[in-house]
Amino acid sequence: MSATKLKQALRRAARAERDPATATPCTAVAETDNGVLQRYTAAAGQPSGHGRPLLIVYSLVNRPAILDLSPERSVVARLSAAGLDVHLLAWHPPGQARQPLGLADYVLGDIEDAVHWLDKHYGTPPHVLGICQGGVLALCHAAIAGLTTPRSLTTLAAPVDTGTPGDRLAELARDIDFDALVKATGNITGPGLASVFAGLKPFALGPRRYRGLEALAEADDEAITTFMRMERWMYDGPDLAARAFAEFAREIYQRNALVHGELALDGHPVRLGDLRIPAFNAYALDDHLVPPAAASALGEHLGGPCHTQAIRGGHLGLFISGEAHRALYPELINWLATTEGAP
């Protein structure tokens, strides 16, 4: 890249960096102890959700902006345009006050409060869509007896069986004393985790990033805005509550307790075999963070039917690739419609 083009790209990127992090407007409709329940509203002239509510439970590790980077590749806008009333449980950053929060606080508290609020407000239980780590949290909620039952459960890139071959995060976690780690460090920083994830695939992410920077000099404003939103998403992750991080790493990645039926949250057993609501599970075939075998195993452990779909590409492709928006989300929307008539 020439110096002139680099300067042009950097100037345009600096202007775009001031734009909002997401494309679709949203408003806060309720609060939980550790999050805000947001409802997405369509931009002017676009269709708006008006049907059964859908709740997105996102990972604690990243911010949910990847679901709404641009109008053309927005998961929330696509679901809303299909007639679903899309909501997101947006997590508060933990800070020191939330350092003692465990997985039970998020699952039995915030997720249950959000599902119950939507059920009461709409007079019908919501569909729940759990993404990556959020998929595991949503699975735990749906599988615990006595909590508000969702209409259906969808998981995208959820690390269900971390005992499968080639799971690099599980291999990294194997010999770490996570309780001692968080005792020494407190909350886990977002930039620190981003470095770990980037280190799993450094030679793919680095060159791709700089090729994208060179293209900015010739790109239109929308492409630049999308590029900067992606950059912000990749390197501006939130901190994680110390206890919840240690519990997730130990129970999911070291003990593989979810599929072994050995996971309990605050004394409430999580039994996937008891989960009989309609389930949809999707994953990416070249995902280096959640390998296909780790995600595809879900159907083997549920007590009810599970519709499974795989797409080509990597982890982020599930949310922003052309194939995901051509094939995965239309399939998911059609599947959700079929659950409306199920008992």
- E-assigned strands of 167-278? 264-265, 268-269
Orientation angle between helical segments 190-199 and 202-215, nearest 10 degrees? 100
Has 132 been annotated as catalytic? yes
Residues 6+ apart with CB under 8 A from 149: 125, 142, 277
Residue that has been written with the tokens 């090729």 in this structure: 211
CA dist., res. 114 & res. 51, Å (int) = 17
> Which residue of the set 26, 132, 140, 306 is catalytic?
132
Torsion sign, CA atoms 285, 59, 206, 18? positive
Q: Does residue 108 sit in helix, strand or coil?
A: helix
CA proximity to 285, closest of 331, 328, 231? 328
**Residue 265 dihedral angles phi and psi, to the nearest 5°:** -115, 115
Which one-letter amino acid corresponds to residue 314?
G
Contact by Cβ (8 Å): 128, 153: yes
**Token digits for 64?**
């949910």
> Hey, which residues are catalytic here?
132
